[in-house]
Amino acid sequence: MKKNLLIPALGVFVGLLLFSCIKDTDFDQAENVTLTPVVELDLIHFDVAANEFFDEVTNTARLRLVDTTEIRFLDDTEIQESLLRADFLFRFNNTIPREFAVNFQFISEEGEETYATATVVPAGTMTNPSTPPDFIEVVEGEEVLQLTGANRVVISVDIPSADASLEGNLNLQSKTTYYLEIKERD
Amino acid sequence: MKVITLFFIAFGLSVAMAQNKQVLYGLEEVPQALLTNPGGKMPAGQKAHFGIPLLSQIHVNGGASGVSVYDIFGESTVDINTRIQEKIFEMSEKDFFTATQQLELISFGWRGNNEIYYSGGVYQELDFISYFPRDLAILAWEGNADYIGYRFDLGQVSATADLLTVYHFGVNKKIGKRLTAGVRAKVYSSIFSASSTDNKGTFVTELGDENSENIYEHNIEGADFLLRTSGLTNSPTSSEVVGRAFLGGNLGVGLDMGATYEVTDRITASASVLDVGAIFHNKNVESFRAQGDYTLDGIELIFPPLNAGEGTFPYYDDLEDELEREIPVDTITSGYTEMRPLKLNAGATYSFGKFVGGQECDCLHKGQIERTQAVGLQYYSIFRPKGPQMAGTFFYYRRLWDFLSAKATYTVDSYSFSNVGIGAVVDLGKFIFYFAADNILSYGNLAKAKSVSLQLGFNIKIDEE
């Protein structure tokens, strides 16, 4: 008689397991989970003195300064998939009495230009620096793919004329706002 | 299918809880109650017990203090991302996810001629806890754009995971008329262990001032991260894992202590402290420590005069090198000592109702008086990396028949204020089956449970003739 109770006891326990369940849930929603971080990140900066535009050894003007840096993460697969939009902000301060043409070229690993932009910085003086409004370049839509095809940026600074007596500095600060959308992709 | 779902919840989703066995504590009929209090009162007539190997105690426990599966995955018109976002901000860095699993391999006990009840055995334990790194979750979810000047606390990262085997042997004796006391010695054999606690550091993006090199300054300040691992340095073969389980791993020692005091015939007080001990990790140890401060302000271009074909500076590599120099990651292979999570139990019981067996003095059993009903309070606490987690339980116990007793509990803990548990012991003479489960109100829909705990087991006991 007593032993028969093992069955009901086990029955209660198994029943607890069987009648326990997960209800009113939809795990397919996991596919819709999307992270949309907006990341603010410094980009490049420089502070070029006027005398760099004149080579005292050869006594000639250097009318173009060029430099290159890798931005290695830009063409990562994750960034290529996730980047929706990138806002570049360039802030200049010019105390050199010359107007500058500044070019930004984004170059792919294969050496091809994938994206480019340019701006002009008005002339300034030591006492009255030229601080043009922030130059903002918004990259979105199809252009994002061009941007993320690059892994380095070439910056060139053109000065119309220079001599040994030229004074002042050209200063650049810059940052990028990356709008990302990270989700499961097929 | 539903069973599979249950185990999915118990093992998979719920990163696990506090090991509270509130239903089992004080349930004298079950030999495994001795593992929650080595000084528990032993049924007077019990001469010996044997656990059925691998089936004598199966314990799973999972929980998340701040969130349930339903909170995120429930059917709703609200977008899942909105719900995740709300939860991230609602939860605090003290919220946690835990999982514990225990499987008894061997269990035995016997009463010696000196009236000492000896018990011992071997069980395997998996224990995991991770606190919710709220600031990092916000950073990942929203980015830093809306948080310029906000100091993200990187020290909120805190997690431990352990897989080990425990060999234990204990003694339990009734000392005098009212007091029962016991101790249990434990040897831990760690199969693997990983922990990262007591981390420090902040990350902040600040707007630069007029002296700044660039528009922002991205600062990592006072970073001090330590991840300790043992048993993970290589991919161990299965025979190695088995070897570590059988005392071939990193060893440790520990102690359980407990006592029960019968204040009056009706009132009983008990307390136990479990896992006072440590594991000494000195084999297969690999730890990683990153310390330092770093400020990122972008890449400074120098415009070096270059001849044709000459390359400029490797600015990006220099940046990475600088980061590695300022916040170096050291690999440490020296041993370390890991404290076991200490657990405290305490209980007070008031017994009432009829006497078991219908007589006031069960003279055969040396004067021990058992009543059929009891109510009481229990306290439980486990020491975790960010401080103790506590639970309070009210219980009602009833011996329904000689062969069936049951205990119902109501527990308030880190997870909820509505945790109702039940347990039952089926005593068929030589054969004892028990189960205990908490949060049973949630079994109707486990998705809404923030924690689930389950123990069951089969034992054989031999009573004095």
For residue B444, pLDDT beyond 80? no
Instruction: Give the gap in angstroms from C-alpha A149 to the nearest C-alpha of chain B.
Output: 17
Distance of alpha carbon B24 from alpha carbon A63, whole angstroms: 85
Lowest mean pLDDT among A154-158, A182-186, B163-167, B253-257: A182-186
Q: Which residue of B has its CA nearest to A91?
A: B215
Is the minimum CB–CB distance between B176 and chain A shorter than 8 Å?
Answer: no
B403 interaction partners in chain A (CB closer than 8 Å): 2, 5
Distance of alpha carbon B162 from alpha carbon B256, whole angstroms: 19
Q: Which of A17, A35, A66 lies at the smallest CB-CB distance from B3?
A: A17
Is B464 part of a structural domain of the chain? no
Q: Which residue of B has its CA nearest to A38?
A: B143
Is B267 part of a structural domain of the chain? yes
pLDDT in tens, B140-160: 999 999 999 999 999 999 999
- Which residue in A18, A41, A71, A78 has the most chain B C-beta atoms within 10 A of its own C-beta, making it the best mutation to test that interface? A41
CATH number of the domain to which B137 belongs: 2.40.160
The structural domain count of chain A equals 1
For residue B4, pLDDT beyond 90? no
Q: What is the pLDDT of residue B372?
A: 86
CATH number of the domain to which A144 belongs: 2.60.120.660
Q: What is the pLDDT of residue B297?
A: 93
Q: Which of B75, B403, B437 lies at the smallest CB-CB distance from A2?
A: B403
Q: Read out DSSP for B122-166? A: EEEEEEEEEE--HHHHHHHHH-SGGGTT--EEGGG--EEEEEEEE
Is the minimum CB–CB distance between B400 and chain A shorter than 8 Å?
Answer: no
- Its domain, for residue B83, covers 2-457
pLDDT in tens, A91-105: 999 999 999 999 999
Is the minimum CB–CB distance between B195 and chain A shorter than 8 Å?
Answer: no
- Selection from B302, B241, B43, B364 nearest residue A65 by Cα: B302
pLDDT, greater one: B122 or B353: B122
Instruction: Give the gap in angstroms from C-alpha A20 to the nearest C-alpha of chain B.
Output: 4
Q: Which of A42, A68, A157 lies at the smallest CB-CB distance from B297?
A: A42
Across residues B446-456, what is the average pLDDT? 77
pLDDT, greater one: B294 or B385: B294
Is A143 part of a structural domain of the chain? yes
B215 interaction partners in chain A (CB closer than 8 Å): 42, 89, 91, 173-175
- Its domain, for residue A145, covers 34-183
Strand ranges (DSSP E) for B246-403?
A: 250-262, 267-281, 285-296, 299-300, 329-332, 336-339, 343-355, 371-384, 387-401
Close Cβ partners of A140 (under 8 Å, ≥ 6 residues apart): A84, A85, A86
ipTM score for this prediction? 0.85
Instruction: Write down how long chain B is.
Output: 465
Is B249 part of a structural domain of the chain? yes
Q: What is the pLDDT of residue A24?
A: 74
Is B337 part of a structural domain of the chain? yes
Is the minimum CB–CB distance between B424 and chain A shorter than 8 Å?
Answer: yes
Is B45 part of a structural domain of the chain? yes
The overall average pLDDT reported for chain B is 86
What is the pTM for the complete model shown? 0.81
For residue B354, pLDDT beyond 90? no
pLDDT in tens, A102-159: 999 999 999 999 999 999 999 999 999 999 999 999 999 999 999 999 999 999 999 9
Is the minimum CB–CB distance between B18 and chain A shorter than 8 Å?
Answer: no
- Whether A74 and A88 have beta carbons less than 8 Å apart is answered as no
Give exposure, B347-356, as e/b (b: 16+ Cβ within 10 Å). Answer: bbbebeeeeb
The structural domain count of chain B equals 1
